[in-house]
Structure formats: structure tokens, C-alpha cells
Structure 1
Amino acid sequence: MQVNINGIETRYVLSNEGGGPWLTFIHQLGGGLSVWDQLAGYFRDDYTVLRYDVRGHGQTELSKEPFSVGDLAGDLAALLDALGAPSTHLVGMSMGGMIAQQFALDHSSRVDSLTIADSVAANPPEARATWDQRAASARRDGMAPLAAATLERWLTEDFRVAHPEAVEPIHEALTRTLPEGYAMACEALREFDVRGKLGAIHCPTLVVAGRHDTGTRPAASQEIADAIEGAHFELLDAAHLAPVEQSQRFAALLETFLERPV
């Protein structure tokens, strides 16, 4: 399904067999809504599950102008408006976790709960060069040369060997990402910093990290949990895409978290 959001044709999938509360999943940089297929199937009987492609990713159009993580949070707000969703439980992974944090700050009344996986509250100054290099590489050479090293960071070797059927769609989504969309997102993430603002988030919050994540240190995710009053932190035996690599454990954690009384 497609809808025009802030002048951008945006792809989304809505599964509302259960007709329950809204539950929205936001994917990683270089990903797409399909990364949530398994979890969406798990929750769709009890929730109205929304997945969408962030601008410049999947089948969502590329932005004509540079954008910020705040703009990406604004896209989500406009999408929820278009679909008639007053509020939602929000789950974001990696880049999606940054968008989720920004959304919770900018639209606090619309967040029923917040789940942040494998993400950071800011990218440190020493990481700026890395983001610039990734953006330059995508623009110069396309996505294919980035794929191998990215998948090594995202998933442990044991998982990649044991589950090629799970790895292939992730690889395909990465290589099909528009190079300019990836590059512009890298530049937006480079500037992201909400460290001094997280104390303003008061919704129930779950933060998850992968023990073997070399790109986003588990300690960085722990810092998010420490900054949000009452947030719960969980460490999973996974690399960067912990909700994929430990999908059953993550689903169980999320189910228990969502059923907690507020």
C-alpha cells in the first residue's frame, strides 16, 4: 500500500486481523519493512501492526532535499495521521530506534510504549568520519560493495551460516536501497543527538542490545535505558540485528512488555 506523506510516496503494510492497539515497527538503515515479517506475523492477531519503508528505502521515494531524524519522525506522525492512528506502541531497530526516540520526544502523547533495539542516543564525534565514508561510498560505488561488511556487523557468523533463508532477504533489501537514500540517511544519523533530552520520555520503555554488536556497543544502548526513568534493559545473544537473530526471545520479551499494566 502507498500513501503520500510530506510529498513522498510512502510504502506501508498494515496487518489488523486482531483489531487491537496499534504496534508500529521501524527498520534499520539500509533495510525495509520486510525485516519485520516474522514479528508482524506473531503480533497481528492481537495488535494492529504497521510497518513502513523509511524515505529513500524499500519502495518509498527518495527525499528531494536533505533531511534530519526529526524529519523522519515527522514522516511517521503524518503516516499515523493518514491511517487514523491516534497513538501506537513503537518498536525501532538501529536507525529505527533513533527515529523512535525522536518521535517519543516530539510526539509524546502518541506513544503508548517505546521499544528501542540496537540503537544509540547520539553518534559520537569520532564516528562522523565513518558516516561520511559510508555516504561517499554509496554515492560513488552503489550499495553492493557495502553489503558484505555490513552483514558481518549485523549478524553473527553462526547465524549467517545456519540461517541463509533469513540472511538473503536482508541482503537483498540492503543492496536494493537507493544509494542516495542511504547516503542522505547516513548524514541524518551523523547529526543525531538526543542525549540531553531522554529524561523527558515518560512512557514505558524497553531497550534491547546484542551482546556481540560491534557497531553499536551494548553500553550505548544501556545509556539510553539509564536516561529514561523506569526503562528496562535486556542483552541478547546476538549481533546488531538482535530482533532478527533472536526473534523468538525478542518476541517473548516484547509480548511480556506490551502486556504490562501502565
Structure 2
Amino acid sequence: MKAPLEARPGSKARLGYVRYGNGPVHVLVMHDWLADHSSYEAVMPWLDGHAFTYVFVDLRGYGQSIELAGEFTIKEIAADCLMLVDQLGWRRFHVIGHSMTGMITQRIAADVPSRVASAIAVCPVSAAGNRLSPEALAFFVSTVEDDGALRRLFKFVSGGLSDAWADRKVQQSRDTVAPACRRRYLEMLVKADFVDDVRGLETPYLIIIGDKDPGLDSEAMRRTFLAWHPNASLHVIPNCGHYPMQECPPYFATVIEDFLKREVPLN
């Protein structure tokens, strides 16, 4: 039996989101820099909607929240997400972040440690930010408007998936991300630094990476998440790049739910 799928439009008072499932365990899921919640559509059919309620949020400038203006900062994202879970009536919850929002799982866990039951960071940028070289930063800035550059980025981080896949990712990004927010969130990624706030957090953490994702590899995770979080573990998905929820959806669903089901069910 397929779990119900529910969509809510974004507004000034609430971020847009898609809900999947109606289970007693609550999971907030955040997307990456380059697309909205639709990056997770391929994985939704493989999730256990009877055990879990998943809410896939669209941050300001994305998807159903594409019209929402803002400062586009770490603090704002965390505050918006906490407002959403309050509006949903969730006392405690699990949180998942991908790439850019890996660091947001840390910010939320640091801000409300008693409410975050566990966190999953997927191919994540950490609280130390992503200190790019001038050349790399110039390339990332170019992807904001240059479709060819964006296409090369998708090919690179996926370990060389097909041209058709990269083309579809470019279209998804252009359709779901407001141009005004792209450069601001990139600045946030590059300049982030709140490591002192997250050192020693006892929140159970699962770090998921793909073995074909360049830069965000096992060594990078050992220097960051695994070094700072005493209850963190690492799972490396074989033959996978930066988008495991799209590259291997059933396996990705199994990995996250095996971890979540080890936690005490929440009511």
C-alpha cells in the first residue's frame, strides 16, 4: 500500500513542503544547493510510510518556496525549519540534510539538541564550510548562470553519469531554484564556520557518501563530522556519486531507514 503524498504551498509564514507517509516517527528532509525537494522523488516509493512521516522541505528560493525572499543564511534556514516542525506539532524529530544542508543538520542539532533524535548527513558540507580556491570559486559562481558549467559540475560530482542525466539535472535546477538565492547560498557555503558550536554534540549521526563523489570523501568526513561528533558513523555507498537518492534510490532508502529504525520510535 502506497503511503499518502501531500503537498503544501509556500507562503510568508511557512516553507513549502511535501509530506510522505503517516507513521509515528517524524523525519525532516532538506535538499542540496542545486535543486528543491524533487531530488528525492525517486526514493519516495521505497520509503516506509507506515513507520515514518517524512517532510521534504523547500527552503527559501526553492520549489514551493521559490517566491520567498530572505537573507539566505545558515541561521535563517535553521530558524525556518524549526518553525516548520513547530507548525507540524513535532516535539522530537530526525533530520536529514544533503550537501549544502549537511551543515544545517549540525546547526539544528546544536540549537535544539533535546529535540533532534538523530541526524543523517548525505555527501555533506560541514560546519567548517567549503573553502574553495579562487579558481574553484569562480567555476562555482559561473554555474549560477552558465548551463554548460552547471552540466560539467553535475557530470563531475556524479562520477561521469550520462549526458542525458546531466541535462535533466540542469533543467531541474533551473526550474526549481530562484536565481536571486543561488549566489547568496554559495557565499554561505564558502564562509560557514561554526565548528565550535558542534564539537562534542552527542546526537547520533550517520554520514553517507558515495565512493565516486570527489572532494567529499572518507578522509574529508574523518576530519569533520567523525572528528566532532562522538556518536557518528560513516557509510560509503559503492559505485555512487553525489546524488545517492537519485543514483541508487532503493539502496539509499534501505541505508537511511536501517539507521532510523535503530533509534527509539518517537510519538
TM-score normalized with structure 2 length: 0.83
109, 116, 119: which one aligns with 1:114 = 119
CA contact (8 A) 2:202 2:230 kept: yes
CA contact (8 A) 1:206 1:225 kept: no
153, 158, 169: which one aligns with 1:155 = 158
Note the 1:79-90 alignment, pairs <5 A. 79-90=84-95
Structure 2, unmatched stretches of 5+, are 1-7
Q: Which has the higher helix share?
A: 1
Note the 1:122-201 alignment, pairs <5 A. 122-127=128-133, 130-131=136-137, 134-135=140-141, 138=144, 142=145, 144-157=147-160, 159-160=161-162, 170-176=169-175, 177-201=177-201
Note the 1:21-32 alignment, pairs <5 A. 21-32=25-36
Q: How has the CA–CA distance of structure 1 residues 247 and 231 changed in structure 2, closer, same or farther, with 3 Å as cutoff?
A: same
Query: Is the counterpart of residue 38 in structure 1 residue 42 in structure 2?
Result: yes
Q: In structure 1, what is the Cα distance between the partners aligned to 2:249 and 2:131?
A: 32
Cross-structure match for 2:241: 239
Identity of aligned residues (%): 21
Q: Aligned AA for 2:85?
A: L
CA contact (8 A) 2:17 2:57 kept: yes
Aligned CA-pair RMSD? 2.5
Q: In structure 1, what is the Cα distance between the partners aligned to 2:17 and 2:70?
A: 22
Cross-structure match for 2:3: none
Shift of 1:26: 0.7
Query: Is the counterpart of residue 257 in structure 1 residue 256 in structure 2?
Result: no
Q: Once structures 1 and 2 are overlaid, which stretch shifts more, 222-231 or 204-213?
A: 222-231
Shift of 1:200: 3.7
SS in 2 for 1:232: strand
Q: How has the CA–CA distance of structure 1 residues 182 and 143 changed in structure 2, closer, same or farther, with 3 Å as cutoff?
A: farther
Structure 1, unmatched stretches of 5+, are none
Residue correspondences, number: 252
Note the 1:82-101 alignment, pairs <5 A. 82-101=87-106
Q: In structure 1, what is the Cα distance between the partners aligned to 2:233 and 2:99?
A: 17
CA contact (8 A) 2:200 2:228 kept: no
Shift of 1:211: 1.4
TM-score normalized with structure 1 length: 0.84
Note the 1:224-235 alignment, pairs <5 A. 224-235=225-236
Q: In structure 1, what is the Cα distance between the partners aligned to 2:80 and 2:131?
A: 27
Cα deviations by residue, 1:213-252 (Å, 9 ceiling, x for unpaired):
1242332223312321121111112111233323233222
Shift of 1:126: 4.2
